[in-house]
Structure 1
Amino acid sequence: MINCIAIDDEPLALRQITSYIEKTPFLELQQSFESAIEALSYLEKNSVELMFVDINMPDLNGMDFVKSLENPPKIIFTTAYSEYALEGFKVDALDYLLKPIDYATFLKSSNKAKSWFNLQNSKPEQINSNDDFLFIKSEYKILRVKLNDIKYIEGMREYVRIHLANEKPIMTLLSMKAVEQQLPSDSFMRVHRSYIVNLKMITTIERNRIVFDKAYIPISEQHKEEFQQFVNKNFLS
């Protein structure tokens, strides 16, 4: 169970969110509040894993409330104003729900939180490899991943996301360093603190970025020289 609180200054909206929490099997509502100031007092004495927080509130709005917390729980923002979405993700929110919120949308967001907590509560995953594929533990499954299917690997703080050519990305609780050590250096290269790319999958380089479909992978100054050497080595002139 994920213990959580809900904060919203609108009684009807708060009642809706709390009812959604109560009907979701893996969520446990600890308390609800009509102001962020009330929630501050509660958090001083109680441990919370997840908060559903409205942004537009009097006295102390939800964004400033989250920023004031030294070690905030994970956050899902709820608001009627879409312009706050980008700022919400800057404070590492798990999701951003735009009112009015139906239960299907709420459940999808809650499942995202559940996946995040499952990764945190599991033991660090292990990776086994040979020249052609990797065995990767993702949640409660062991997956065989062909090296040739990997487009790029994205570091996401406590875990990594492996982006594949024709399948959904795979998330696993590993460090970028651990993954990098298992990959063949003639095919994979670290180009940024948060990205490892499959050199064989690169088709387009644009303005110091590697383009994979709609994803733009930045090449950092630290790795620029090594990557340029790879390009020069394979450049047709």
Structure 2
Amino acid sequence: MIRCLAIDDEPLALGQLVTYISKVPFLELAAQCQSALEARAFLEHDTVDAIFCDINMPDLNGMDFVKSLTCPPLIVFTTAYSEYAVEGFKVNAVDYLLKPFGLQDFQRSASRLKERIEGASMVNEQADVIYLKTDYRVVTVHIADIRYIEGMSEYLKVWVEGEPKPIITLLSMKKMEERLPSSFMRIHRSYIVNLTKIQEVNKNRVILDANTYLPVGDLYKEAFQSYLQSRFIR
């Protein structure tokens, strides 16, 4: 799912955006705001993958709002004024919807969002690095530095050695599991672990350090135990 934010100071236009978002299966409405200031307050404590943003708004217009974001998500501008189109693409907007627009136009923009996100959440075929889309950026991650991966709905938290915060990316556990080398193992429906980072196995959990304990799920216990048995020194 692509979490999105809808922003428009006109209640009818905002209602239309919300309705159109609900008609696209891969879009999820995170919030709707009637001003850029309200949207900014929301983004201080939450994240989204995309913003559908009106340009002509009081106090802070949509264009200046997007330019003020440190790491803006994907943007689709909506406005009744065509002269903003060129400026919109200068800030790397995915699309530009000229009001009044219909559902078909909106679906086209939504498809472009999906293509952009799927194209950026990519894994290199080489064994040493992966490329992940996060916060409107593509980052390079050395596979050997990954400690573990945590699944949360449609997103993954990729915990990397030496980094206090995880990389959050729109990708499935199955997709990630398929692309990682054999030094990684799925030990729980929500966890993939780098086997080389395990310090200790204690009952139904693996210990990476004094503060990191990962559970071993019942469905994955047999395969994990087989792996351990194959590594025992006899």
The TM-score range, normalised by the shorter chain, is 0.5 to 0.7
Give the AA of the match of 1:113.
T
Shift in Å at residue 142 of structure 1?
2.2
The aligned length equals 155
Give the TM-score of the pair, scaled to structure 1: 0.52
Q: In the alignment, which of 115, 119, 123 is matched to residue 117 of structure 2?
A: 123
2:206 match: 210
* Alpha-carbon spacing, 1:2–1:107, altered in 2? closer, same or farther (3 Å): closer
Q: In the alignment, which of 160, 164, 168 is matched to residue 164 of structure 1?
A: 160
CA contact (8 A) 1:150 1:164 kept: yes
CA distance in 2, matches of 1:115, 1:130: 27
Shift in Å at residue 207 of structure 1?
3.0
2:47 match: 113
* Alpha-carbon spacing, 1:108–1:221, altered in 2? closer, same or farther (3 Å): same
CA contact (8 A) 2:151 2:191 kept: yes
Residues 198-217 of structure 1 deviation map (CA, whole Å, 9 limit, x = unaligned): 00000122230122342332
Shift in Å at residue 188 of structure 1?
0.5
Q: Superposition pairs for residues 124-143 of structure 1, below 5 Å? A: 124=118, 125-143=121-139
CA distance in 1, matches of 2:213, 2:201: 9
* Sequence identity (%): 36
CA contact (8 A) 2:148 2:194 kept: yes
CA distance in 1, matches of 2:228, 2:50: 37
Find the residue that maps to 2:174 and give its secondary structure: helix
Find the residue that maps to 2:227 and give its secondary structure: helix
1:65 match: none
CA contact (8 A) 2:122 2:130 kept: no
Q: Any gaps of 5 or more consecutive residues in structure 2? A: 22-27, 32-39, 52-72, 75-109
CA distance in 2, matches of 1:210, 1:164: 17
CA distance in 2, matches of 1:128, 1:137: 12
Note if 1:196 corresponds to 2:192. Answer: yes
* Alpha-carbon spacing, 1:222–1:107, altered in 2? closer, same or farther (3 Å): closer
Find the residue that maps to 1:153 and give its secondary structure: strand
* Alpha-carbon spacing, 1:216–1:147, altered in 2? closer, same or farther (3 Å): same
Moved over 6 A (4+): none
Give the AA of the match of 2:174.
K
CA distance in 2, matches of 1:196, 1:30: 45
Shift in Å at residue 130 of structure 1?
1.6
Aligned CA RMSD, in angstroms, stands at 3.8
* Alpha-carbon spacing, 1:108–1:140, altered in 2? closer, same or farther (3 Å): closer
CA distance in 1, matches of 2:43, 2:176: 32
Shift in Å at residue 73 of structure 1?
5.2
Q: Any gaps of 5 or more consecutive residues in structure 1? A: 4-26, 32-42, 50-71, 76-103
* Alpha-carbon spacing, 1:153–1:29, altered in 2? closer, same or farther (3 Å): farther
CA distance in 2, matches of 1:106, 1:194: 28
* Alpha-carbon spacing, 1:212–1:106, altered in 2? closer, same or farther (3 Å): farther
Note if 1:235 corresponds to 2:232. Answer: yes
2:178 match: 181
Shift in Å at residue 227 of structure 1?
0.5
